[in-house]
């Protein structure tokens, strides 16, 4: 299960967290991950993953400004690589040659597959049967803290956005931040959502089956932390291995990333040059470790519950390539290796269809953030944002009601009020404050 999301970044500056964030993720994650999925589809693989694309990201992948700017960004990447390739420094020359090859490949991918936007790519993956596409609310709000009226509107219109872009109606969603409050299951049912994601602790760690929520037939699937943290743990996850490329260290003359992780506590200026020849053996080791752990987990969980169990390994798409340079290669190898050891790979929709569903459960208020509660989005550090968001939403809805009273046509001012309100209450802003990431 992969969840693809970025907040709206177009026309909000470049470095460090404006449009640059979009183009880095596009070049490093979306291009190679989609290439992996196309390769799997071409080789006859089906039902390989549930792939979430948030409406706010889909809009940027289709936006003419973002498309032309992405092309410019790729060309700039290639120019920076050429500058490095003629450096007097041997390590920088090697970096330049390596990055030139990577940028040339990315430009070829973009020119061949992406020049008309992301929607044709996403639609082709849907048609190939290699993915189940998951939708979501319009602008990734933290739903439990949202006025129920705006929450229902955001979900309904987010699903409508998927239909308008891809002529496809998602049966499932990745709920933003896996956030839940009791009663939302009925809103999901009313909107036509049949399954959604929560974090494992929401189901008390019992993630071996999906669970209908309350008195509805809406199924919650829980992320298996035992498996997912094999990759994602900041302390012991695979991306932190010394041989992999370091995400945080830049060569500031070229903006390229020259170093390997080297060690967890090694300062950036002491990290050693990245050496691709070190990667293959480490990558194969991590593929085998993950595949073996998934198989053992499935066997143990099936024995525990007395019936075939499932394991949901869930990650942000941007982990693969953007944060973890070698991630797309790892993903490709894992998906091809799992069937070889007897593991059936599938989607959430396929799990539901094939009966991997247990008894109903009453879900608590929860998220996948720190503490598995809401503290990241409503804790002491962001109370000013919680209050501000409530005031913005109340003012916006009151104003829209007044403007639309008796109106017979669409009102562009009302549209813009709602649009900017949704952008304001995105979950990303309090997350960035709580985590001190900007």
Predicted local distance difference test score (pLDDT) of residue 232: 87
24 closest CA partner among 64, 92, 80? 80
pLDDT, one tens digit per residue, over 331-373 is: 999 999 999 999 999 999 999 999 999 999 999 999 999 999 9
Distances (CA, A) of 52 to 5, 173, 228, 287: 8, 7, 17, 23
**In which residue ranges of the chain is pLDDT below 70?**
none
What is d(CA 137, CA 144) in angstroms, rounded to the nearest whole number? 12
Q: 178, 223 in Cβ contact below 8 A?
A: yes
Predicted local distance difference test score (pLDDT) of residue 407: 86
Predicted local distance difference test score (pLDDT) of residue 359: 97
Q: What is the pTM of this model?
A: 0.96
Residue 87 phi, psi dihedral angles, 5° rounding: -70, 155
The residue annotated as part of the active site, out of 157, 187, 316, 373, is: 316
Predicted local distance difference test score (pLDDT) of residue 282: 98
426: buried, middle or exposed (CB in 10 Å: 19+, 13-18, 0-12)? Answer: buried
Does residue 316 have an active-site annotation?
yes
Predicted local distance difference test score (pLDDT) of residue 434: 95
- Other beta carbons within 10 angstroms of residue 401's beta carbon come to 10
Predicted local distance difference test score (pLDDT) of residue 14: 84
DSSP 197: E
Predicted local distance difference test score (pLDDT) of residue 243: 98
- Other beta carbons within 10 angstroms of residue 204's beta carbon come to 10
147's tokens:
């006025």
The residue annotated as part of the active site, out of 99, 161, 177, 185, is: 177
Does residue 94 have an active-site annotation?
no
Predicted local distance difference test score (pLDDT) of residue 26: 98
Q: How far is CA 68 from the centre of its chain?
A: 23
DSSP 89: S
What does the domain layout of the chain look like in residue ranges?
Answer: 2-372
306's tokens:
């007395």
Contacts of 55 (CB under 8 A, 6+ apart): 135, 136, 137, 138, 139, 158, 161, 162
73's tokens:
């960004």
DSSP 182: T
2-372 domain in CATH 1.20.120.140? Answer: no
| Cis previous bond, 16, omega within 30 | yes
Q: Is 167 left (phi over 0), alpha (psi -120 to 50) or beta?
A: left
């Amino acid at each position: 299960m992969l969840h693809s999301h970025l907040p709206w970044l177009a026309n909000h500056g470049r470095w460090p967290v404006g449009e640059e964030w979009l183009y880095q993720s596009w070049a490093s994650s979306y291009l190679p991950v989609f290439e992996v999925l196309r390769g799997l589809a071409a080789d006859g693989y089906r039902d390989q993953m549930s792939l979430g694309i948030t409406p706010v990201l889909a809009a940027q992948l289709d936006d003419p400004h973002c498309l032309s700017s992405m092309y410019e960004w790729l060309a700039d990447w290639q120019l920076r690589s050429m500058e490095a390739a003629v450096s007097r420094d041997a390590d920088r020359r090697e970096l330049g040659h390596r990055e030139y090859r990577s940028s040339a490949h990315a430009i070829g991918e973009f020119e061949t597959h992406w020049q008309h936007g992301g929607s044709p790519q996403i639609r082709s993956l849907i048609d190939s049967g290699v993915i189940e596409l998951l939708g979501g609310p319009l602008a990734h709000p933290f739903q439990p803290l949202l006025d129920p009226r705006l929450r229902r509107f955001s979900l309904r219109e987010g699903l409508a956005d998927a239909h308008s872009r891809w002529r496809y109606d998602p049966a499932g969603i990745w709920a933003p931040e896996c956030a839940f409050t009791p009663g939302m299951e009925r809103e999901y049912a009313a909107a036509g959502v049949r399954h959604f994601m929560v974090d494992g602790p929401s189901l008390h760690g019992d993630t071996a089956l999906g669970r209908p929520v309350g008195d509805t037939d809406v199924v919650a699937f829980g992320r298996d932390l035992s498996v997912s943290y094999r990759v994602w743990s900041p302390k012991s996850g695979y991306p932190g291995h010394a041989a992999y490329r370091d995400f945080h260290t830049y060569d500031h003359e070229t903006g390229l990333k020259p170093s390997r992780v080297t060690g967890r506590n090694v300062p950036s200026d002491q990290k050693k040059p990245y050496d691709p020849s070190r990667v293959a053996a480490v990558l194969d080791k991590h593929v085998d470790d993950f595949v073996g752990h998934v198989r053992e987990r499935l066997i143990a969980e099936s024995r525990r519950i007395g019936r075939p169990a499932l394991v949901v390994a869930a990650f942000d798409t941007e982990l693969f390539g953007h944060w973890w340079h070698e991630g797309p290669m790892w993903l490709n190898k894992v998906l091809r290796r799992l069937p070889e050891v007897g593991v059936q790979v599938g989607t959430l929709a396929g799990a539901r269809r094939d009966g991997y569903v247990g008894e109903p459960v009453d879900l608590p208020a929860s998220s996948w953030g720190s503490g598995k509660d809401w503290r990241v989005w409503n804790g002491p550090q962001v109370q000013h944002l919680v209050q501000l968001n409530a005031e913005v939403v109340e003012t916006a809805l009151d104003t829209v009601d007044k403007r639309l009273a008796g109106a017979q046509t669409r009102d562009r001012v009302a549209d813009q009020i709602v649009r900017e309100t949704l952008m304001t209450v995105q979950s990303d802003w309090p997350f960035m404050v709580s985590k001190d990431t900007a």
